[in-house]
């Protein structure tokens, strides 16, 4: 589990990215504060509080995502909602979320991009400078058909910063202070939910009720 900064820390300037603003670029719409995938009528609603810069979140994705998506989300049994949190370095975590959302990506595309960013987390976070990390994100965006201008517009979106502040407020109200944290149908799950056998056992048991 990795702790994320308080709202005060973020508001004090942890998202002062200092990126170069593209001339004549218009900020994208922040859209919903959280992103979801899966049937809205799924009997199970799994909420995940996660950060793309959290090594434990990346490990959860690496060990559980294929099973979670194939056996539960794609079959209509689970709807997953991801609540965006920031862990160190917060500016890079924020930038990764903004790239996942860039150009108003829908839920499936957002989660696809986020999965790739989890896989590349170590490389992105090992960048020697913030500029190098941004260059890595611009390169990833190019693979997804996004221009540098589109990526930089997303990284400089003030609405995104406000979205993150609201997300941190909501998380703190729920008693969430670290990532990843999971709730199933409103009930907070134990940390061992991250283990593949516990995940399947928990979801299967809940689905059978």
Instruction: Kindly report, residue by residue over 160-199, the tens digit of the pLDDT.
Output: 999 999 999 999 999 999 999 999 999 999 999 999 999 9
pTM of the predicted model as reported, rounded to 2 decimal places? 0.87
Q: Look at residue 18 and tell me whether its pLDDT is greater than 70.
A: no
CB 36 within 8 Å of CB 79: yes
Q: In this structure, what DSSP letter does residue 161 have? A: H
Domains observed in the chain = 43-207 (3.40.30.10)
Question: Percentage of the chain surpassing pLDDT 70?
Answer: 86
**Six-digit token string for 29:** 């719409």
Q: How do strand 44-50 and strand 78-84 relate by DSSP bridges?
A: parallel
Angle, in degrees to the nearest 10, between helices 148-155 and 130-143: 130
pLDDT in tens, 80-97: 999 999 999 999 999 999
């Amino acid at each position: 589990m990795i702790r994320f900064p308080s709202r005060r820390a973020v508001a004090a300037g942890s998202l002062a990215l200092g990126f170069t603003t593209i001339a004549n670029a218009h900020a994208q719409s922040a859209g919903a504060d959280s992103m979801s995938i899966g049937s809205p009528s799924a009997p199970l609603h799994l909420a995940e509080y996660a950060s793309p810069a959290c090594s434990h979140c990346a490990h959860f994705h690496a060990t559980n995502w294929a099973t979670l998506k194939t056996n539960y989300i794609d079959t209509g049994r689970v709807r997953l909602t991801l609540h965006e949190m920031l862990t160190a370095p917060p500016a890079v975590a924020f930038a990764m979320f903004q790239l996942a959302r860039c150009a108003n990506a829908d839920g499936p595309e957002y989660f696809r991009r986020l999965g790739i960013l989890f896989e590349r987390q170590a490389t992105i976070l090992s960048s020697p400078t913030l500029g190098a990390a941004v260059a890595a994100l611009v390169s990833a965006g190019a693979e997804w058909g996004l221009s540098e201008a589109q990526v930089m517009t997303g990284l400089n979106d003030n609405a995104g910063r406000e979205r993150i502040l609201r997300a941190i407020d909501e998380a703190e109200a729920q008693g969430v202070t670290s990532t990843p944290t999971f709730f199933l149908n409103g009930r907070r799950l134990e940390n061992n939910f991250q283990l593949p056998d516990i995940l399947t056992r928990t979801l299967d048991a809940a689905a059978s009720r």
